[in-house]
Amino acid sequence: MIRLLAASAIAGSVLMAHAVSPASAADTPKRTDGADLVIELGVGGQVQPRYPGARDLLFAPYPIISMSYLRLPGLFELGGGPKTAFTIGPSFRVIGERDPADEPGLAGTRKLDATYEAGIKAAYEFNFDPIYGAEVIGEVRGAFGEASGVVGTVGADVIARPMPMLELRLGPRANLASSDYVGTYFSVSPDESVASGGRLDAYDANGGLYSVGLKASARYEFKPTWFLNANAGYERFVGDAKDSPIVSSVGDANQFTVGLGLSKQFTLDLFRD
């Protein structure tokens, strides 16, 4: 199950960060002057549900990988804008296996192998002044492996930078998925219902909006280009996911995560004008 947590925690570190430097909107040009790529690498640890819908929480490490600026001379420039900035990049998530041997309440259900998700994330950030800003976010990924289908997230953040080295973010999230994907994690087949001894009713979960929640994060630049990253999230299943016996009889519709990590920003000059 550690593999499950390590894999699924990658969701919190999607490969596309914010459009401006976390320190300050006003400082962003200083960070990107003469640079073609600004990336951030690090590692953290996160406490989160054992599997989607689980009551139990486990700890696992996760990578921090983000890009806040990219310039291809003569073509385009992404990120780093002092007032507004549009960013686009890859989005990945891995959900590890779900083994009924680890959860007595799931006895009779089949074991689920890992699911891999890959797609894109786009964000548009407005910086009203050096202290306050906002961002709208959208992600879409295709799933393959145990589950197949399309998954996506839409959300928004309010941003506050009360001091040059500190950035705070808070905003809602809504998660959607196709029926194939939702059914993999929240449906119970007739055979599984019988194998569970009737504890779990047969259930067919359909796609659509399956969870809503809130995410918060804080980043503190304790020395130049070094960051302490903290995050917390709350997610509540809705619709067919909430009504699934996997959630209502065994698990919990309320899901929580909290994490802490350390990262370093790297500025690279890839092209010489």
CA distance linking residue 93 with residue 30, whole number of Å: 32
Give me the half-sphere count of Cα atoms (radius 13 Å) on the Cβ side of residue 149: 17
93-124: per-residue pLDDT in tens?
888 889 999 888 999 999 999 899 999 888 89
Q: Which pLDDT score, from 0 to 100, does residue 175 have?
A: 97
Q: Are 61 and 258 in contact (CB under 8 A)?
A: no
CA distance linking residue 184 with residue 192, whole number of Å: 13
The pLDDT of residue 144 is above 90: yes
Q: What is the Cα gyration radius of the chain?
A: 20
Sole residue written with tokens 């890859």: 90
**Residue 62 tokens, joined:** 């996760």
Q: Are 127 and 79 in contact (CB under 8 A)?
A: no
Average pLDDT, the chain: 84
The pLDDT of residue 26 is above 50: no
pTM of the model: 0.81
**Residue 234 tokens, joined:** 């709350």
- Strand, coil or helix: 36: coil
Residues 6 or more apart whose CB falls under 8 angstroms from that of 152 comprise 119, 138, 139, 140, 141, 175, 176, 177
Long-range pairs for 22-25 at CB < 8 Å and ≥24 separation?
Answer: 22/167, 22/219, 22/221, 22/227, 23/161, 23/164, 23/165, 23/167, 23/221, 24/130, 24/161, 24/164, 25/82, 25/83, 25/127, 25/129, 25/130, 25/133, 25/161
| φ, ψ dihedrals at 53, nearest 5° | 100, -5
All structural domains of the chain: 2-268 (2.40.230)
The pLDDT of residue 79 is above 90: no
Other C-beta atoms lying within 10 Å of the C-beta of residue 83:
12
Q: How would you classify the pairing of strands 254-268 and 226-237?
A: antiparallel
Range with the poorest average pLDDT among 21-25, 251-255, 258-262? 21-25
Q: Return the closest-CA partner of residue 40 out of 225, 249, 181, 170.
A: 225
